Amino acid sequence: MKLETVKKEFVSKLAITYPNEEINSLFKILCLEYLDLCPSQLLLSKDDLISRVQLDWFSEVIVRLLNEEPIQYILSKTSFYGLDIKCNPSALIPRPETEELVDWILKSEKNRISILDIGTGSGCISVSLAKNNKDYSVSALDVSKSALDLAEYNALSNKVNINFINADILEYNSDIKYDLIVSNPPYVRNLEKKKMQNNVLNFEPELALFVEDNDPLVFYRAILEFANFNLIEKGKIYFEINEYLFNDIKELLISFGYNKIELREDAFGKLRFARAVK
């Protein structure tokens, strides 16, 4: 079968679930990744013949996409801050907003510092920090052993050295003091579930996303309690935050004695990040 015919079938089967523009973009991503074509070849390859094995793969992918599985899990990877990051359902798929948090740190913190990434998931934050500043000494913590295995793989494949810690931040104690703590902890309230899409709700780990409606700042508080002893004086905290809870985060930081508190919008104009000095 020709690639062009595969595309027609792909478009017609997915039309009930996805808008046309998204289907075209999914098809392009799949061809670039699986058929190993480059964007310029794609246009010239419509008459290329697709093998039986490749056809079977496209059919399987169509079923998974109709089931609203994220493309990053289907391909087992995504790109984050220019790096290849392996993805699987044990960790959140790295989001573009989080690249902005990494960028903020890299542009602001030029010194030789020790960093702890709390709730590292796929390791996207810690790996991209370590990769882009060789003077950082990076540790990364997660309660999920399977997420940490993934983060370790990503550190190895991107050739960076990270100290991994398998621990629950709600009860973790340590003697080590860090210069900087960064975290994108779970921050979505259960009440926000109804606004979320099936591809997130049905596939991404609950543990990485949700907090109780009556205590949405539980992780921020635990991190600040940990930082009481484990962040140096004048050390910095960088958080990714829930856009609806920026005031509460600010008050929490003030109550823990932090100053120079800055809130920052993401590229979509949502207050998504906080930075503060101890």
Ligand X SMILES: C[S@@+](CC[C@H](N)C(=O)[O-])C[C@H]1O[C@@H](n2cnc3c(N)ncnc32)[C@H](O)[C@@H]1O
Using CB under 6 A, list all residues that contact ligand X: 91-92, 94, 98, 119-122, 124-125, 141-144, 147, 168-170, 184-186, 207-208
Convert 69-88 to b/e letters by CB count within 10 Å (16 or more is b).
bbbbbbeebbebbebebbbb
Least separation in angstroms between residue 142's CB and ligand X is 5
Least separation in angstroms between residue 92's CB and ligand X is 4
Least separation in angstroms between residue 129's CB and ligand X is 11
Least separation in angstroms between residue 144's CB and ligand X is 4
Q: Which is nearer to ligand X, 14 or 141 (CB)?
A: 141
Least separation in angstroms between residue 52's CB and ligand X is 37
Q: Which is nearer to ligand X, 119 or 235 (CB)?
A: 119
Q: The sheet that has 259-265: what strands, in order across it?
A: 162-166, 137-142, 114-118, 178-183, 231-240, 271-277, 259-265
Least separation in angstroms between residue 267's CB and ligand X is 16
Q: Which is nearer to ligand X, 124 or 155 (CB)?
A: 124
Q: Which is nearer to ligand X, 30 or 101 (CB)?
A: 101
Q: Which is nearer to ligand X, 50 or 93 (CB)?
A: 93
Least separation in angstroms between residue 141's CB and ligand X is 6
Q: Which is nearer to ligand X, 14 or 266 (CB)?
A: 266
